[in-house]
């Protein structure tokens, strides 16, 4: 296909043609949804179903040295935009030094090793598929797609000959570019990761010598050379002989099996220690985007000397603002919607990420270095960590404990028990007082040395949490966010540790649906309150002595993302350093995922979605759309992918639940100042009716299959979240199923109506339990069974009642077999796949046939989103 500037491919607008080839063209384009620049590679033929399926697997690869595949169209691929030359362009000027080659190929090996561990083989590794960015980061292109590309004829150019497929109906298929194909590929045999090891050795040789290993006037001659010729190592440095020989064993059974081991085969130079890698020479900074482009997602500043000059604690020139990005490091995977926290002195940043052990850890990075390291013993979930006032300690919540860890070393120390397993922010002052927030709780305080938590604020009617506290400079007053079902109460307030909990000021400083943080002026003068308006980060002058705002807010950063619990993803130090995470902001997509975790399509357009609920027949989805205070419920037709508005009140409606016959939808609404429960015919033909009105915020959760009971959660000021059942009949009175000092959430009744699954902080961490459903028994009566292992929440029954699904603490979807033939018995929990993102686990559903899950996911779930750091951010306000 051919396109011209201004043409559209789906949501992408073509800007320029940046490459042409025998199989299609490559375009520079803009993604209109985010926005961002991307590269689009087109094909002359439509992709097969197999190609699209394989491409989705490749899109799941998340590594700083792998070019990210964003999207797949009917005959095009959407890739990240990568600046810099390919290796084939680099070696036109001659061979590279061993140190330079080692630095480049070590990154290539890391990319291949990561993919091989996930069952993906490249099969077409060559210099033309490897690019070097201006900052020295290597990117491997065309990853894994060679094996599913359309058929092409062989070219006489051995380096640029396209991926070949020969004899598709034969037992074997030949794939690859001629000069870099392994012998087993040439022979049409099935190949595995050892074919990539062979190609790795060929590329290594070519970079060191500046010449191709296998030559010929035709592809046939080159293939013959691959089968019979041995490499000539006379021009190869002696230290690399062993590496190349092990990679280029013609018998794959004798060849090195794991590319992750290859760099250890470099021998030391005679009479010296091992040769250190040499930094890559700077590539030409022209617009070399002809093949693949790239995301800023893995951008890591590697010029350490330059960063020292930019170090946040060194006062920068008053007119200079410095920006850079921090991407994921080796053996660590970013959690895109996870927050970061910059230390008060601006020297450090802490954030949660998934380690190579599959568990979530808190990582720390000094902003003047590129090294990232996990804090020993600081394991937890994706909720934010926070700093002590002196930048020495990191506070975090794990296993329902508030903990702290010294960044200089030593194991974490328990400060106190905590109401939940998720942090809602924490801070400390110079007097050794820690304040913290969480779900369903007021702001709590405790000595940093340890002790009992005590409330310093109190939840007012219609409020469900106080979160994100920050001490102001006097160490007494603090900012915090009040989450409420009443829009008139929602926002940022000022509290004081010297005031009784029930006597805190009720004056709202800032109307907002997210937190705000104070940033002092490093050079003296008026500081600023930083907060989000939509997805734009604003700064407004704030006097911490008078506790007043002045002037008008000024926009400082666009496209800042948000976490689902009223938390904008930004952090600011006392020294003028600002960090934030860009992305989709509040925009989400409804994503189908099959039982193996493979993406199975999306539903509807991107929007501010919450709480999807699939109808009993699977044909419709009820979902809340819009900002929390004013969102409405919409009905989406699955087959036609069309949406119809279901509620029209100016207040906020949320948490839709279908009746078992699909004729009604129950939902929560804050129209009376709290989360009361209403019901309405699902076809929209009738009026809404009030089912339940109380003084506490409530969320509808599930409906029994016999239609008799609607289950909901109610947040009490003392007992936190409680479980209730409401008889769906005239004047039905709610029944308390479980009211304790712990938080019980997400009640789900089994298909036969006998068992109630739910999550509770009764154990540490939060876990999934099952109880018999006994509406006539006293509150909390009956046995209970622990279902999850090592933490779990958001349970969902399989339609046949023989299994429960839940989300683990590190966002894995877990399945547990259930046997009720002789009482209640559970099997061993087993992980089945990773949820699409950290935010997607807060609301999900399962189709009635049990074959597909529906998640609310960020639009950028498949892209690695870096942290952006701005040094001396306030300098821009003076312009």
Q: Taking the CB of residue 475, how many other CB atoms lie within 10 A of it? A: 14
- Tell me: do 816 and 734 sit in the same domain: yes
**Rg (the chain; Cα; Å):** 29
d(CA 213, CA 201): 10
- Tell me: do 487 and 512 sit in the same domain: yes
**More confident of the two residues 330 and 448:** 448
Percent of the chain with pLDDT over 70: 84
Judge whether 169 lies within some domain.
Answer: yes
Mean pLDDT value across residues 782-801: 91
Tokens of 203: 């590329």
Judge whether 295 lies within some domain.
Answer: no
- Tell me: do 175 and 231 sit in the same domain: yes
Q: Write the pLDDT tens digit of every residue in 654-694.
A: 999 999 999 999 999 988 767 899 999 999 988 899 999 98
Give me the phi and psi of 642, to 5 degrees please: -120, 150
The pLDDT confidence band at residue 530, using thresholds 50, 70 and 90, is: very high
pLDDT beyond 90 at 429: yes
The pLDDT confidence band at residue 283, using thresholds 50, 70 and 90, is: very low
- Tell me: do 478 and 379 sit in the same domain: yes
Judge whether 274 lies within some domain.
Answer: no
Domain end residue (candidates: 265, 290, 316) = 265
Angle at 473 between CA 472 and CA 478, to 5 degrees: 15
Read off the DSSP letter of residue 50: H
Domains identified in the chain, total number? 3
- Tell me: do 549 and 464 sit in the same domain: yes
Task: Write down the pLDDT at residue 737.
Answer: 92
- Tell me: do 131 and 256 sit in the same domain: yes
Mean pLDDT value across residues 584-608: 83
Judge whether 404 lies within some domain.
Answer: yes
Q: How buried is residue 633: exposed, middle or buried, by Cβ count under 10 Å (0-12/13-18/19+)?
A: buried
Which are the catalytic amino acids? 124
pLDDT beyond 60 at 85: yes
Task: Write down the pLDDT at residue 300.
Answer: 30
Residue 461's nearest CA partner among 496, 436, 486, 494 is 486
Strands 386-387, 372-379: pairing kind? unpaired
d(CA 574, CA 523): 10
Domain end residue (candidates: 213, 238, 265) = 265
Domain harbouring 440, CATH code: 2.120.10.30
pLDDT beyond 70 at 101: yes
Please give the residue range of the domain that contains residue 824. 588-858
Mean pLDDT value across residues 192-200: 93
Q: Taking the CB of residue 812, how many other CB atoms lie within 10 A of it? A: 21
DSSP H or E stretch at residue 90:
helix 87-90
Q: SS3 for 107?
A: helix
756 within 8 A of 771, measured Cβ to Cβ? yes
Judge whether 275 lies within some domain.
Answer: no
- Tell me: do 458 and 549 sit in the same domain: yes
DSSP 735-757: EEEE--SS-EEEEEE-TTSSEEE
Judge whether 276 lies within some domain.
Answer: no
Angle at 501 between CA 499 and CA 502, to 5 degrees: 105
Judge whether 81 lies within some domain.
Answer: yes
- Tell me: do 556 and 592 sit in the same domain: no
Judge whether 298 lies within some domain.
Answer: no
- Tell me: do 514 and 610 sit in the same domain: no
Task: Write down the pLDDT at residue 174.
Answer: 35
575 within 8 A of 618, measured Cβ to Cβ? no
Residues in contact with 179: Cβ distance below 8 Å, sequence separation at least 6, in sequence order: 126, 158, 159, 161, 202, 212, 213, 214, 215, 222, 226
b/e map 731-765, b = 16+ CB within 10 Å: eeebbebbbbebbbbbbbbbeeeebbbbbbbbbeb
Residue 252's nearest CA partner among 197, 213, 180 is 197
Q: How buried is residue 791: exposed, middle or buried, by Cβ count under 10 Å (0-12/13-18/19+)?
A: buried
Choose the weakest-confidence range: 208-212, 526-530, 555-559: 555-559
Helix, strand and coil content of the chain, in percent to the nearest 5, comes to: 15, 35, 50
- Tell me: do 308 and 233 sit in the same domain: no
Task: Write down the pLDDT at residue 331.
Answer: 78
Residue 77's nearest CA partner among 9, 176, 178 is 9
673 within 8 A of 655, measured Cβ to Cβ? no
The pLDDT confidence band at residue 9, using thresholds 50, 70 and 90, is: confident
- Tell me: do 691 and 659 sit in the same domain: yes
Q: What are the C-alpha distances in Å from 261 to residues 106, 197, 256, 257, 669?
A: 10, 10, 8, 8, 58
- Tell me: do 323 and 462 sit in the same domain: yes
d(CA 363, CA 371): 10
The pLDDT confidence band at residue 53, using thresholds 50, 70 and 90, is: low
Task: Write down the pLDDT at residue 551.
Answer: 92
Q: What are the C-alpha distances in Å from 79 to residues 66, 148, 154, 275?
A: 11, 16, 25, 36
Mean pLDDT value across residues 70-90: 87
């Amino acid at each position: 296909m051919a396109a011209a500037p201004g043409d559209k491919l789906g949501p992408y607008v073509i800007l320029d043609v940046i490459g042409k080839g025998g199989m299609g063209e490559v375009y520079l384009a803009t993604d209109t949804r985010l926005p961002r620049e991307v590269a689009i590679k087109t094909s002359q033929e439509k992709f097969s179903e197999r190609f699209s399926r394989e491409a989705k697997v490749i899109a799941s690869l998340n590594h700083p040295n792998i070019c990210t595949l964003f999207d797949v169209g009917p005959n095009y691929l959407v890739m990240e935009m990568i600046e810099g030359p390919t290796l084939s362009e680099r070696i036109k000027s001659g061979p590279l030094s061993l140190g330079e080659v080692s630095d480049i190929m070590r990154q290539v090996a890391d990319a291949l090793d990561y993919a091989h561990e996930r069952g993906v083989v490249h099969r077409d590794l060559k210099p033309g598929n490897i690019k070097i960015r201006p900052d020295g980061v290597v990117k491997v292109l065309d990853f894994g797609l060679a094996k599913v590309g359309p058929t092409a004829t062989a070219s006489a150019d051995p380096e640029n000959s396209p991926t070949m497929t020969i004899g598709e109906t034969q037992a074997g298929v030949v794939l690859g570019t001629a000069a870099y194909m392994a012998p087993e590929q040439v022979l049409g045999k099935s190949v595995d990761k050892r074919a990539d090891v062979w190609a790795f050795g060929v590329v290594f040789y070519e970079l060191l010598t500046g010449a191709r290993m296998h030559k010929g006037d035709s592809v046939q001659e080159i293939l013959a050379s691959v089968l019979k010729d041995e490499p000539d190592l006379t021009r190869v440095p002696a230290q690399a002989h062993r590496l190349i020989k092990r990679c280029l064993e013609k018998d794959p059974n004798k060849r090195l099996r794991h590319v992750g081991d290859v760099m250890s085969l470099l021998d030391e130079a005679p009479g010296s220690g091992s040769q250190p890698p040499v930094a890559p020479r700077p590539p030409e900074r022209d617009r070399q985007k002809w093949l693949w482009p790239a995301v800023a997602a893995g951008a890591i500043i590697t010029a350490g000397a330059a960063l020292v000059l930019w170090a946040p604690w060194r006062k920068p020139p008053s007119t200079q603002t410095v920006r850079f990005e921090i991407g994921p490091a080796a053996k660590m995977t970013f959690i895109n919607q996870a927050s970061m926290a910059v230390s008060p002195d601006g020297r450090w940043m802490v954030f949660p990420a998934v380690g190579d052990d599959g568990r979530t850890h808190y990582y720390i990075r000094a902003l003047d270095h590129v090294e990232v390291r996990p804090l020993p013993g600081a394991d937890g979930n994706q909720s934010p960590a926070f700093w002590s006032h002196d930048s020495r300690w990191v506070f975090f919540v794990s296993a329902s404990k508030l903990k702290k860890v010294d960044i200089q070393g030593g194991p974490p120390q328990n400060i106190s028990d905590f109401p939940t397993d998720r942090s809602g922010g924490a801070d400390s002052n110079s007097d050794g007082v820690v304040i913290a927030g969480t779900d369903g709780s007021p702001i709590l305080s405790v000595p940093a040395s340890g002790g009992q938590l005590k409330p310093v604020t109190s939840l007012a009617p219609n409020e469900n949490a106080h979160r994100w506290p920050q001490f102001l400079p006097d160490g007494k007053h603090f900012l915090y966010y009040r989450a409420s079902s009443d829009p008139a109460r929602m926002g940022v307030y000022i509290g004081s540790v010297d005031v009784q909990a029930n006597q805190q000021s009720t004056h709202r400083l800032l109307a907002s649906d997210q937190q705000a943080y104070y940033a002092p002026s490093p050079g003296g003068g008026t500081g600023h309150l930083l907060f989000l308006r939509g997805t734009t980060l604003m700064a407004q002058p704030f006097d911490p002595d008078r506790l007043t705002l002045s002037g008008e807010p000024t926009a400082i950063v666009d496209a800042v993302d948000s976490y689902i619990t009223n938390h904008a993803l930004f952090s600011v130090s006392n020294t003028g350093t600002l960090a934030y995470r860009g992305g989709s902001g509040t925009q989400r997509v409804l994503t189908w995922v099959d039982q193996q975790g493979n993406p199975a399509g999306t539903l509807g357009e991107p929007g501010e979605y919450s709480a999807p609920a699939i109808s009993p027949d699977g044909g419709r989805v009820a979902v809340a759309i819009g900002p929390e205070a004013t969102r409405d419920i919409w009905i989406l037709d699955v087959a036609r992918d069309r949406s119809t508005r279901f509620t029209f009140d100016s207040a906020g409606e949320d948490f839709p639940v279908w009746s078992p016959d699909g004729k009604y939808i129950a939902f929560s609404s804050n129209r009376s100042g709290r989360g009361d429960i209403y019901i309405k015919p699902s076809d929209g033909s009738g009026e809404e009716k009030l089912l339940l009105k109380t003084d506490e915020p409530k969320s509808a959760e599930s409906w029994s299959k016999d239609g008799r009971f609607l289950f909901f959660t109610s947040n009490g000021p003392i007992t936190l979240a409680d479980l209730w059942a409401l008889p769906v009949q005239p004047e039905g009175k709610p029944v308390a199923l479980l009211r304790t000092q712990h938080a019980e959430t997400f009640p789900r009744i089994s298909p036969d109506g006998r068992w109630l699954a739910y999550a509770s902080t009764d154990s540490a961490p939060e876990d999934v339990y099952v109880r018999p459903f006994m509406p006539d028994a006293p509150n909390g009566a009956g046995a209970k069974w622990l279902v999850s292992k090592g933490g779990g929440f958001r349970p969902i029954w399989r339609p046949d009642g023989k299994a429960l699904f839940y989300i683990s603490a590190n966002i894995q979807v877990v399945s547990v077999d259930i046997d009720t033939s002789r009482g209640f018995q559970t099997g061993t929990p087993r992980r089945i796949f990773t949820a699409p993102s950290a935010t997607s686990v807060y609301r999900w559903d399962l189709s009635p046939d049990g074959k597909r899950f529906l998640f609310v996911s960020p639009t950028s779930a498949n892209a690695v989103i870096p942290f952006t750091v701005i040094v001396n951010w306030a300098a821009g306000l003076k312009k």
